[in-house]
Structure 1
Amino acid sequence: MTASAPRRVAYDVLRAVNESDAYANLLLPTSIERARLTTADAALATELTYGTLRRQGTYDAVISIAADRPVQEIDPAVLDALRLGVHQLLSTRVASHAAVNESVELAREGGRAASGFVNAVLRRISRDTPGDWMTRVEDSARSDDERLGLVYSHPVWVVRAFRRALAAEGRTDELEALLTADNASPRVTMAALPGLGEVPEEARRTPYSPLGFRLGGGDPESLVSGSDGRVRVQDEGSQLAALALTRAEPVRAGERWLDLCAGPGGKTAVLAAEALAGGASLEANEVSPARAGLVRRAIEGVPLDVPVSEADGRVRASESPDMYDRILVDAPCTGLGALRRRPEARWRKSPADVPSLTELQTELLSAAVVALKPGGIVAYVTCSPHLAETSGVVSEVRRSFGSSLEELDARAVLTEISSTDPRLPDQADGSKRAQLWPHRHNTDAMSISLLRKL
């Protein structure tokens, strides 16, 4: 007997993610295509992959109890087979015998001892209900933060970072709702580039972005490919981040714009369409050659010449003083705001990553301010709600530039853009930053700040 094709695809992706730091959202589609899976099998492979990655922390706690040993002592290939099996046993309707037998087959490559171990552990888990195992997991926690981390499958430091970010809005009572939302599969959101893309008549418009819509079902690929890039898959928060810059005030013909950290190009495409409509020009920059290629591909459907440079953004901006009317700084960050779509990110980042990222973010934003014309606007955006990466960076840059920099009300801009009031609360630090949330807005946890150079 061999493992079924969907489980083999899911297992191979899990191995690549955990062993080679692969990205599931990039690897899984190519793996599905290579395996020639049917639509139903592709859906199963997707659910098994993302479900296992999202709940990995919880499943590791279950495995540790059932195996009576720390997961660090289990061979990584065997551990991934166990995680896949536990996901099927505790979170799907897959029959227990199928979940156990298929996982044993995946582990068999590690030898008879490995397959026997997997068989024993999964059969022990299958004897009790998911509720029983969650009770045991909760009882194993040494603190409330650890309990939340184990139950909702988030590292403790992420739980604490989310709590602080919610506390800045006076909404710590929403913490469990946020953690729950991170473990839900996000709905596919589309964007029709303004003035270029057409929203299908049967589509349902999204509540906040005027570009956004959702389809009733089916694969959006045919719509995307048939639109020459003018209709695209894009999170509503990403759409709003670009629109916050372009619609903070009316565009004057002849303005010069820069997208400083453009990869992979979704926001660049929105900026390009908006620049075309307003008579502005746009330049893009992306330090990674591979991501710069994605930017060029993303803007192919916009009839506007957008040069894409491949320089360090700090150098690119600082060498262009007083040149641009609007600059987008979509800064590299921990990615904690996109855990629904990139669940493995929660296991790859640590608190030790934050200081170096905030230093880079501060340098990028500072360089962008230098590159702004007097009166120009910079949008500082992160796909993370971590306060050090959001309000902390903006506060540091504002201190550095003093009275030559003022903060615009990003919340008021988003409220004006949206057809439905996003109800963005005040921030405890007095900033005018807009923070979107998965559990509240059904978007990535995007932070948006707008600054004007005086």
Structure 2
Amino acid sequence: MSDRRPAADRPRRAALDVLTAVRADQAYANLVLPQVLRKHGLAGRDAALATELASGAIRMRGLYDPVIDACLTRPRLQEQVRDVLRLGVHQLLSMRVPDHAAISTSVDLVKASVGRGPSGLVNAVLRKVSTRSYDDWVDEVAPDAKRDRHGHLAVARSHPRWVVDALAEALAAEGASDELDALLTADNAPPRVTLAARPGLADVTELEAVGGTRTTRSPYGVVLERGDPGSIPAVAEGRAGVQDEGSQLVALAMADADLDGRDEQWLDLCAGPGGKAALLAAIAAQRGAHLVANERQPHRAELVSSAMRAVPDGTVHVLAGDGTRPPWVPGTFDRVLVDAPCSGLGALRRRPESRWRRAPGDVDVLVGLQQVLLDVAIDSVRPGGVVVYATCSPVVAETTAVVAAVLGRRGDADEVARFQLWPHRDGTDAMFAATLRRRPLG
């Protein structure tokens, strides 16, 4: 008998490669996916299928794993077999793939990637899964919604329980507790690809011409309805970039805040990987201002420099430095953006693995850093200048609580504006931004 393993179809094999890299190598799905697609020569519909399979299986494992476990006669599984089952369950419960196709392709996939041994188990488990709908399985494996609403939603919408609790607190702070299920559901929807036309370098009409639709809030945003953004000349040349509309609005909050006096020196304190900095640099160039884009990690500072390749010379200085120990003189800048390192719980749509990698203790550590960085930002701006504090997280501890703590002990700055965006309301990442003004002297 031949030991040769049968071939699996390329999109499913590519999706399994992504799951393996995320699990075994702690890779980020959005970064490893393009490499895997190139490796398997996938484009168009095949690339879209591989993307949906991988992202969906990673995102929804909080539901799929209990479903798989409910169908097992023995509790332990090889990790790669579980990955194959996650892909199969995603097809059965969340995609329009016929049951027979989802099961047979999963059996072929485990034969090709692991061997013939687990093929019978994969077949049996997926056949059991196929006997019930998504909602029926939720009723089977999730806690009772009336007795434990957050526990039910944690399984039904595949979020860690502590994340559900933190997002519920953030919504409750706005009097919107009834929107929790809508938010968690939106976190599981694939995000739209949104582009930013960097002013003076590209115009939104150029991006509309390749199949884009203008965003409703940012004057520079265009939603790409189809195609590869990297193939668009403006993106390839750095005149435009892939950037969520929420991130664009954060940059605009800094650039457009009312300011008295000079408006010449701008600072992006935590600039990596460079999307907001590139938009700010383009705006600064039009206004005759200069931007310092600071990033602590050298490899991320290189990404910032790459993002600036189309910006006029002399507009930007990219600095690889520790934002908590800045080399510049206090009061140097007129405008400062501190897009602080955060839990990233506002961007769960586009980072499917992040919800499983974060822990409650991470927030406690980050809050201390966020407060230090906001202090530095206020010190760095002149009296009368403005600071925008932003996070890609709606968590109260990282947003309003940080601003309140810093302002409460300083006495030399005031909050003048604030916004919180939400995926389920605004179609953006859950970006938070607070605009502060340093009090004039005297």
Q: Is 1:284 aligned with 2:287?
A: no
Contact 2:345–2:393 at 8 Å: present in 1 too? yes
Aligned counterpart, 2:420: 435
1:199 and 2:201 matched: no
- Separation of aligned partners in 1, 2:235 and 2:264: 31
1:445 is matched with 430
What does residue 213 of structure 1 align with? 222
| 8 Å Cα contact 2:260/2:385 also seen in 1 | no
Deviations 1:1-31 (A, max 9, x none): 2211111110010111122111111110111
User: Does residue 124 of structure 2 align to residue 116 of structure 1?
Assistant: no
* Amino acid aligned to 1:437: W
Deviation at 1:118, TM superposition (A): 2.0
Report the 3-state secondary structure (helix = DSSP H, G, I; strand = E; otherwise coil) of the residue aligned with 1:263. Answer: coil
1:252 Cα offset (Å): 6.2
Among 61, 76, 81, the residue aligned to 2:79: 76
Q: Which residue of 2 aligns with 1:383?
A: 392
Partner of 1:272: 281
Distance 1:336 1:263 in 2: 18
Distance 2:123 2:436 in 1: 58
Describe the SS at the equivalent of 2:390.
strand
Q: For residues 342 and 224 of structure 1, do their structure 2 counterparts lie closer, same or farther at Cα, with a shift above 3 Å needed?
A: farther
* Runs (5+) with no aligned partner, structure 1: 410-432
Taking the aligned partners of 1:25 and 1:309, their CA distance within structure 2 comes to 26
Using the alignment, how far apart are the partners of 2:202 and 2:196 within structure 1? 8
Contact 1:361 1:393 in 2 (8 A): yes
**Relative to structure 2, which stretch is displaced further, 293-302 or 116-125?**
116-125
TM-score by length of 1: 0.90
Q: 1:241 aligns with which of 229, 236, 250?
A: 250
Kept after mapping to 2: 8 A contact 1:253/1:279 = no
Q: Which residue identity is paired with 2:200?
A: G
DSSP 3-state at the match of 2:360: coil
Mapped partners of 1:2, 1:187: distance in 2: 33
Q: How far is the alpha carbon of 1:152 from its aligned partner? A: 0.6
The question of whether the paired residues in 1 share the 8 Å contact of 2:334 and 2:385 is answered with yes
Aligned partner of 1:49 among 47, 54, 63: 54
Q: Is the 8 A contact 1:89 1:96 kept in 2?
A: yes
Letter in 2 for 1:106: L
Alignment of 1:252-331 (within 5 A): 255-305=264-314, 306-316=316-326, 320-331=329-340
How well do the aligned residues superpose, as a CA RMSD in angstroms? 1.9
Q: Does 1:131 align with 2:132?
A: no
Equivalent position SS for 1:336: coil
Q: What letter corresponds to residue 135 of structure 1 in structure 2? A: D
Cα distance between partner residues in 2 of 1:68 and 1:114: 13
Residue-pair matches, total: 427
Give the aligned residue type for 1:407.
E
Residue 217 of structure 1 and its aligned partner are, at CA, apart by 2.8
Distance in 2, matches of 1:224 and 1:380, equals 33
* Cα deviation digits, residues 93-112 of structure 1 (max 9, x gap): 22222222322333334454
Give the fraction of aligned pairs with identical amino acids, expressed as a percent. 53
Question: How many angstroms does 1:225 deviate by?
Answer: 4.8
**Secondary structure of 1:196's partner?**
coil
Quick one: which amino acid aligns to residue 310 of structure 1?
Answer: A
Cα pair distance change 1:210/1:226, threshold 3 Å: closer
- AA aligned to 2:218 is S
* CA distance in 1 between partners of 2:276 and 2:14 (Å): 31
Amino acid aligned to 1:55? M
Deviation at 1:154, TM superposition (A): 0.7
- Kept in 2: contact 1:2–1:102 (CA 8 A): no
Answer yes or no: is the 8 Å Cα contact 1:197–1:227 preserved in 2. no
> What is aligned with 2:3?
none
Per the TM alignment, residue 196 of structure 1 is displaced from its structure 2 partner at its CA by 2.1
Residues 112 and 238 from structure 1, CA distance in 2 versus in 1: closer, same or farther, beyond 3 angstroms? same
AA aligned to 2:91 is: Q
CA distance in 1, matches of 2:172, 2:401: 15
Which residue does 1:335 correspond to in 2? 344
**What is the alpha-carbon distance in structure 2 between the residues aligned to residue 224 and residue 390 of structure 1?**
37
What's the offset of the Cα at 1:191?
1.0
Letter in 2 for 1:436: L
Alignment-derived partner of residue 88 in structure 1: 91
Residue identity matched to 2:137: W
Can you give the 5+ residue segments of structure 2 that lack an aligned partner in the other structure?
A: 1-5
Q: Does the residue aligned with 1:29 lie in a helix, a strand or coil? A: helix
Q: Structure 2 length as normaliser, TM-score?
A: 0.92
- 2:43 is matched with 38
Match of residue 102, structure 2, among 99, 104, 107: 99
